[in-house]
A and B are shown apart, each in its own frame.
Chain A
Amino acid sequence: MLRLAAALVCLGLLAGCLEDPMLDGGLFPCRDADDCIEGYVCHATRYVCVLEGTEDVDAGMTDAGAADAGE
């Protein structure tokens, strides 16, 4: 029964393993600030959530894109 208990735990954890949907850093469409979580704002022209204080940066650019843009 000890083995059964261990198997139950493993099976349960494996069967329901949550994936990381990579929420951080993803692009989310928005219409206003309510569509974004705390710390993010809705970009006025591109309608995606961006980190507060980075509204001036071209929204929607990835870090790589931003790096390219800076080059």
Chain B
Amino acid sequence: MGAVLGLVTAVATPAQANDAVAVATAGVDPNSPAALNLVEAVERGVAARSELKLVEPARARFLLSSSAPQSHAAAHRQARALLDQADEQLRNFQVPGAKKALAKATELLDPDLGLSPTVTLDQRRLALAVAVAHAERDEEALEAALTAYAARFDQKSPPKGASWPPDLVRRLTSLAARARSSLEVTSDPPGEVFVDGRKVGNSPLTVDDLPVGRHRVEVKAPDCFARDVWIDTDPAKVAAVKLDLPPTVSVRLARLPAEGPLPAGLQSEVAAAGARGGATWVALVTPARDGKASVRLIETRPEGHAHGPVLAGAPRMAFDLAWDTRDELVAEGPGKPLGYTPWVIGAAGVGVAAAVTGVAVRMWAKDTQEPLRTQQGALTQADAYAIQDRAEGRAVLGTVLITAGAALVAGAAGLFTFDLVSTGGK
């Protein structure tokens, strides 16, 4: 068990290509109770799935690295300060400065526009964008900002504190009174549906009476990454959104050198993974504070993910699955077969065939000599020598074929041995 600790391995053998297995431990003291629990948990997790095999030794090492979604709180704080600055400058009729600050704030908020954390900031941003465009007499920008505001916030009046002239308020009221649209949202698994950062219900659902325009739809479900999409709604038809939410528990396995120290930052999770039939099984083990561990099995297919049983309560983790098919694992893992097997078999087959043909040709050559024995005394010298010449030519051809065939077989044997050694004899 201890041998497994500190190693990160991946093995895929020619004979067991469908049983590729990766085992990883990292950042764990091999002698600690927690570490022993981790390994036991992995073994239990692996044993729970017959298609998973826990294997030693290290021919490949994989790095488990967290890729939890980054928090944009800092960017939001900066954007808020820039909006304050733009507001102040606008009040002092410093329109270019306000426009510049607004552009920077928009850039910072852009990834999260239309999502819950930025609803208030986005409303302020659009209200300021309307005021700046109006001050600059930029009709195109004004129309765009008013339309976005009306669609996203569905309000007939500007936000509090925004000093819009009466004609702008009238235009906003007019836009808000435009035709309505509908939106149908489904997701796998079902989750909470947010439209423009505001919760509207649980999927599957249809949102009616939605302002026509561009909306951001987001679905959130427990233990899954939230997914979102921008969609333009149209009064003529029901817009449809379907979102598949990947589970938050998966692993990123990056290739590491087979030897040498593990890089800093390696996470303290342990994972075992196996691949079979196009799906990858990942067993994630999470050390808990009390020294116990939990294991979660995940089946990952190109078309989606499915959670396996959680053997113990696992804290929420967020990882990305860097590879999810056997082919990718086999292709990238240093423990992969070198790919010689088909060529080795082919070369050996051709070699054997050539050698057998060579034997047959030499036997044919011997048969060619037969008249020299059976018709001795009846053959003319010219005929006898001609027969011997033919026999010797055939014998040479046979020898060449046998030698070439044997060379092919020997070469195939060498490649096979090399392949065997490079894959650790698996």
B369 touches A9 (CB 8 A): no
Chain B: which residue is nearest A3 at the CB level? B413
A53 on the interface (CB 8 Å rule)?
A: no
* Cβ-defined contact, A15 with B381, below 8 A: no
Q: How far is the CB of B340 from chain A (nearest CB, A)?
A: 13
Query: CB-nearest residue of chain B relative to A8?
Result: B355
Q: Which of B369, B378, B403, B410 contacts A29 (CB 8 A)?
A: B378
Report the Cα distance A12→B358, complex, angstroms. Answer: 7
Q: Mark contacts of B320-361 with chain A using CB atoms, 8 A cut-off: 1 yes-contact digit, 0 otherwise.
A: 000000000000000000000000000010011001101101
Q: Is the CB of B369 within 8 A of A11?
A: no
Kindly list chain A residues whose C-beta atoms are within 8 Å of the C-beta of B388: 21, 23
B251-289 residues with Cβ-Cβ distance < 8 A to A are: none
Q: Is B77 on the interface with A (CB-CB < 8 A)?
A: no
Question: Does any Cβ of A come within 8 Å of B384's Cβ?
Answer: yes
**Would you call B183 an interface residue if the criterion is a C-beta within 8 Å of the partner chain's C-beta atoms?**
no
Q: How far is the CA of A2 from the CA of B415 in the complex (A)?
A: 11
A28-B379, A37-B381 known; A12+B359 contact, CB < 8 A: yes
The residue on B at minimum CB distance from A15 is B359
Taken together as a complex, chains A and B put the C-alpha atoms of A12 and B395 apart, in Å, by 10
Q: What chain A residues lie within 8 Å of B405 (beta carbons)?
A: 5, 8
Most chain B CB atoms below 10 A, which of A9, A12, A23, A36: A12
Contacting pair B359 A19 (CB below 8 A): no
Rounded to whole angstroms, the CA-CA distance of A4 and B352 in the bound complex is: 9
Whether A18 and B403, one on each chain, are in contact in the complex, defined by CB atoms closer than 8 angstroms, is no
Chain B, range 402-423, C-beta contacts under 8 Å to A: 402-403, 405-407, 409-410, 412-413, 416
Q: Is the CB of B395 within 8 A of A16?
A: yes
Contacts of A19 in B (CB 8 A): 366, 369, 373
Q: Does B385 contact A (CB under 8 A)?
A: yes
Interface centre among B362, B363, B380 (most CB of A within 10 A): B380
Of the candidates B348, B351, B381, B413, the one whose C-beta lies within 8 Å of that of A40 is B381
How far, in Å, is B146 (CB) from chain A's closest CB? 79
Q: Are B384 and A4 in contact (CB under 8 A)?
A: no
- A1 close to B378 (CB less than 8 A): no
Which residues of chain A are within 8 angstroms of B355 by Cβ–Cβ distance?
5, 8-9, 12
Once the chains bind, are A12 and B377 in contact (CB under 8 Å)?
no
Task: Find out whether the CB atom of B385 lies under 8 angstroms from the CB atom of A23.
Answer: yes
Task: Choose among A8, A30, A36 the residue that contacts B402 (Cβ–Cβ < 8 A).
Answer: A8
Asked whether A18 lies within 8 Å of B365 as measured between CB atoms, the reply is: yes
Q: Is B36 an interface residue, CB under 8 A from the partner? A: no
Q: Inside 8 A of B382's CB, which chain A residues have their CB?
A: 34-37
23 cross-chain CB contacts under 8 A: A1-B348, A1-B412, A4-B409, A5-B409, A5-B413, A6-B406, A12-B398, A13-B402, A15-B359, A15-B363, A18-B369, A18-B391, A18-B395, A19-B366, A23-B381, A23-B388, A26-B384, A28-B379, A29-B380, A36-B381, A37-B381, A37-B382, A49-B381
